[in-house]
């Protein structure tokens, strides 16, 4: 048993089963034993690899998108260049390099990072040095200024709840104890106002997931963008609206049982884009249509960039570069599983690369 498994078992023995959201929050962010709190999980030696770690081209394309939006909105200066869940800081570093192509933009950017892990904050500081960076525990403390915000594989790490349809009611899936070990169980079914809208597209036994913190975070972001200008670019794996169990654990690049090693495996769930777009619109901003990552990157010019970079490479470096381009864009790799959403002011044009709503 991991130290966190023992602590969770004691807590459940004393207070009863916990929601998957509570379990996920403890596993990822517990200050001593949490997955992100204790390690840098990215890259080939880690548990998983993300788009910015696959190739610099990912951040460069998002940087070009931000640059066009900055020009379209009259070059606000200064502005807040923010990222939620920046991991190693690689995406922000690539964006800062790409926006240097636009005179004045990098100089006008004040970098703000929303990151709860102290270990990863250190890593981000090292990646972005000598740039001054301000960290935040949550989006609530981001300054009220034009906001240009990125979030790649951030929303998938936010705790989810799962509910199983039972007639007109829903039974929450919980983490309890069976013979001293963590095990899934069900709370008694109850009607649930928040899932009324799912009665039409679900049947008995279907699993529906909610992410209680996602919409409030989007509301904070979109309210700033509606009032002060800017844009948010959200990229993650998911769907418009989910159906089924997407709660998953990954350790050493392999899927594993989410209850097997609390604090030692990455836990994620697919992101629902519908509640994000709805929260953005309710806060007075516009939301694009959900746009496949591969389509977005192609429209932003990744193939031309890939060809330019390829001219400087040969041998295995060239092969790796070609594979990275394919991995980011191809529909059978990350191109379709990963989706994106842009949130922008009611009066501003659609950010480049995105489908209109």
Window 127-186: residues binding ligand SAH (CB under 6 A) = 152-154, 157-158
Q: How far is the CB of 344 from ligand SAH (least distance, A)?
A: 21
Work out the number of other CB atoms within 10 angstroms of the CB of residue 75: 15
Q: For residues 99 and 131, is the Cβ–Cβ distance under 8 A? A: no
Q: How far is the CB of 266 from ligand SAH (least distance, A)?
A: 8
Q: Which of 91, 128, 133, 265 binds ligand SAH (CB under 6 A)?
A: 91
Q: Using N-to-C axis directions, what is the helix angle for 302-310 and 315-329, rounded to 10°?
A: 170
Number of residues that bind ligand SAH (CB under 6 A): 20
Q: Which of 98, 99, 114, 265 binds ligand SAH (CB under 6 A)?
A: 114
Q: Which of 55, 116, 242, 293 binds ligand SAH (CB under 6 A)?
A: 116
Q: Which of 18, 27, 42, 210 binds ligand SAH (CB under 6 A)?
A: 42
Work out the number of other CB atoms within 10 angstroms of the CB of residue 132: 9
DSSP-based three-state secondary structure for 318:
helix
Shorter beta-carbon distance to ligand SAH: residue 26 or 153: 153
Q: Which of 26, 60, 115, 236 binds ligand SAH (CB under 6 A)?
A: 115
How many C-alpha atoms does 271 have within 13 Å on its Cβ side? 25
Q: How far is the CB of 167 from ligand SAH (least distance, A)?
A: 34
224: closest CA among 115, 134, 139, 328?
139
Q: Which stretch binds ligand SAH (CB under 6 A): 48-56, 166-174, 299-307, 345-353?
A: 48-56
Q: Which of 64, 81, 120, 295 binds ligand SAH (CB under 6 A)?
A: 120
Q: For residues 338 and 235, is the Cβ–Cβ distance under 8 A? A: yes
Work out the number of other CB atoms within 10 angstroms of the CB of residue 251: 18
Q: Which of 23, 26, 50, 339 binds ligand SAH (CB under 6 A)?
A: 50
The CA distance from 270 to 207, in Å, is: 13
Shorter beta-carbon distance to ligand SAH: residue 9 or 139: 139
Shorter beta-carbon distance to ligand SAH: residue 53 or 165: 53
Window 12-41: residues binding ligand SAH (CB under 6 A) = 28, 36
Shorter beta-carbon distance to ligand SAH: residue 44 or 311: 44
Strands 109-114 and 133-136: parallel
Residue with the shortest CB distance to ligand SAH: 85
- CA dist 298 to 54, 71, 335, Å? 16, 21, 10
The CA distance from 89 to 66, in Å, is: 17
Q: Which of 21, 26, 47, 53 binds ligand SAH (CB under 6 A)?
A: 53
Q: How far is the CB of 77 from ligand SAH (least distance, A)?
A: 26
Shorter beta-carbon distance to ligand SAH: residue 83 or 172: 83
Q: For residues 208 and 242, is the Cβ–Cβ distance under 8 A? A: yes
DSSP-based three-state secondary structure for 236:
strand
Q: How far is the CB of 332 from ligand SAH (least distance, A)?
A: 21
Window 259-288: residues binding ligand SAH (CB under 6 A) = none
The CA distance from 287 to 61, in Å, is: 19
How many C-alpha atoms does 243 have within 13 Å on its Cβ side? 11
Q: Provide the terminal-to-terminal Cα distance of the chain, rounded to the nearest Å.
A: 48
Chain positions contacting ligand SAH, by CB under 6 A: 28, 36, 42, 50, 52-53, 85-87, 91, 114-117, 120, 152-154, 157-158
């Amino acid at each position: 048993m991991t130290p966190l498994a023992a602590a969770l078992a004691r807590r459940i023995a004393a207070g009863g089963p916990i929601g998957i959201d509570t379990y996920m929050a403890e596993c990822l962010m517990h200050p001593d034993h949490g997955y992100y709190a204790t390690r840098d999980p990215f890259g080939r030696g880690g548990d998983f690899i993300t788009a910015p770690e696959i190739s610099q081209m990912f951040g460069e394309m998002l940087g070009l998108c931000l640059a066009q939006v900055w020009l379209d909105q009259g070059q606000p200066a200064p502005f807040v260049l923010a990222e939620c869940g920046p991991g190693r800081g690689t995406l922000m570093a690539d964006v800062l390099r790409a926006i240097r192509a636009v005179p004045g933009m990098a100089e006008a950017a004040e970098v703000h990072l929303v990151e709860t892990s102290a270990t990863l904050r250190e890593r981000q500081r090292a990646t972005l040095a000598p740039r001054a960076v301000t960290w935040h525990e949550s989006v609530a403390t981001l300054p009220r200024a034009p906001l240009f915000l990125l979030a790649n594989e951030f929303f998938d790490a936010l705790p989810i709840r799962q509910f199983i349809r039972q007639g007109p009611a829903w039974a929450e899936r919980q983490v309890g104890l069976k013979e001293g070990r963590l095990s899934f169980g069900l709370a008694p079914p109850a009607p649930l106002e928040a899932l009324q809208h799912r009665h039409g597209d679900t049947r008995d036994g279907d699993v529906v997931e909610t992410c209680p913190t996602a919409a409030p975070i989007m509301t904070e972001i979109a309210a700033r963008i509606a009032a002060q200008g800017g844009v948010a670019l959200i990229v993650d794996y998911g769907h418009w609206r989910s159906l089924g169990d997407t709660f998953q654990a990954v350790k050493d690049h392999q899927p594993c049982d989410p209850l097997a090693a609390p604090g030692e495996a990455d836990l994620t769930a697919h992101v629902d884009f519908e509640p994000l777009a709805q929260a953005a619109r309710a806060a007075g901003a516009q939301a694009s249509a959900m746009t496949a990552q591969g389509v977005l990157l192609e429209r932003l010019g990744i193939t031309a960039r890939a060809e330019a970079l390829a001219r400087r490479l040969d041998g295995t470096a060239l092969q790796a570069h070609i594979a990275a381009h394919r991995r980011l864009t191809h529909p059978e790799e990350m191109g379709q599983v990963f989706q994106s959403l842009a949130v922008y002011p009611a009066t501003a044009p659609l950010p480049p690369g995105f489908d209109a709503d």
